[in-house]
């Protein structure tokens, strides 16, 4: 009698576990309905670092803390929390940098928009531009905005300010002086 009870006690967990294993059904349609979000990105990357090159030479380097890529309805990548774009000269040295807290790149139009605490630096001339929104057109390498801009030297002295600017991604002095769309006050490029 003791042996029969012992065998029954051993088989009860086996029967219960077998019932549990075979009773679970993963219906993929149900799972997808519960977990699918049509607004979710197709790819998410943390600490993204991308180099764009031309004829074997680096031209642009992009670093982003978080990058979310959407393939439809429009193929775009959103850069969140921090974005830094470095532009290289023909010699291969970094000549200018663009930083912001947020950015988007549209693969169809080749247009990047950056927003929130935007800074464009010319590393050789040691000056920088501050604004809240800036566009970078990859096709013709122009940088522009119609928002308020302020241009400063490394020591924070103001070179100029105004509403709107159009320049190259290298942010050169001659281009900047003639391309602030609506200057406010006088422009001081005397040390350039």
Checking if the pLDDT of 46 tops 60, the result is yes
Instruction: State the pLDDT at residue 116.
Output: 96
Instruction: State the pLDDT at residue 188.
Output: 65
Least confident stretch, 84-98, 127-141, 160-174: 160-174
| Spatial CA neighbour of 115 closest among 103, 130, 127 | 103
Instruction: State the pLDDT at residue 172.
Output: 73
Mean pLDDT of all residues in 23-50: 78
CA–CA distance from 102 to each of 27, 108, 115, 133 (Å)?
39, 19, 5, 10
Output the pTM of the full model: 0.76
Domain edges within the chain: 2-184
User: Which pLDDT band holds residue 192 (cuts at 50, 70, 90)?
Assistant: low
| Residues 5-19: tens digit of each pLDDT | 777 777 787 887 777
User: Which pLDDT band holds residue 31 (cuts at 50, 70, 90)?
Assistant: low
User: Which pLDDT band holds residue 68 (cuts at 50, 70, 90)?
Assistant: very high
Mean pLDDT estimate for the chain: 85
Q: How many CB atoms lie within 10 A of CB 145?
A: 21
Q: Specify the CATH number for 2-184; select among 2.60.450.10, 3.40.50.720, 1.10.3720.10, 1.20.1250.20.
A: 2.60.450.10
Checking if the pLDDT of 175 tops 60, the result is no
> Reading across the β-sheet that carries 57-70, which strands appear in turn?
43-54, 57-70, 76-88, 94-106, 111-122, 127-137, 142-153, 158-168, 180-184
CA–CA distance from 66 to each of 17, 96, 138 (Å)?
43, 22, 21
CA–CA distance from 175 to each of 2, 38, 102, 114, 143 (Å)?
97, 44, 26, 21, 11
Instruction: State the pLDDT at residue 50.
Output: 92
């Amino acid at each position: 009698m003791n042996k029969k009870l012992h065998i029954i006690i051993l088989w009860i967990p086996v029967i219960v576990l077998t019932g549990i294993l075979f009773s679970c059904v993963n219906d993929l349609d149900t799972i997808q309905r519960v977990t699918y979000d049509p607004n979710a990105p197709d790819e998410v990357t943390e600490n993204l670092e991308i180099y764009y090159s031309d004829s074997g030479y680096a031209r642009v380097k992009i670093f982003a803390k978080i990058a979310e890529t959407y393939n439809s309805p429009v193929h775009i990548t959103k850069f969140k929390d921090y974005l830094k774009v470095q532009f290289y000269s023909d010699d291969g040295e970094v000549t200018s940098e663009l930083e912001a807290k947020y950015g988007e790149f549209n693969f169809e139009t080749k247009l990047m928009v950056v927003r929130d605490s935007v800074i464009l630096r010319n590393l050789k001339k040691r000056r920088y531009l501050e604004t809240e929104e800036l566009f970078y057109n990859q096709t013709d390498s122009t940088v522009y905005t119609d928002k308020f801009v302020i241009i400063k030297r490394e020591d924070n002295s103001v070179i100029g300010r105004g509403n709107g600017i159009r320049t190259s991604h290298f942010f050169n002095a001659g281009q900047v002086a003639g391309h602030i769309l609506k200057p406010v006050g006088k422009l001081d490029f005397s040390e350039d």
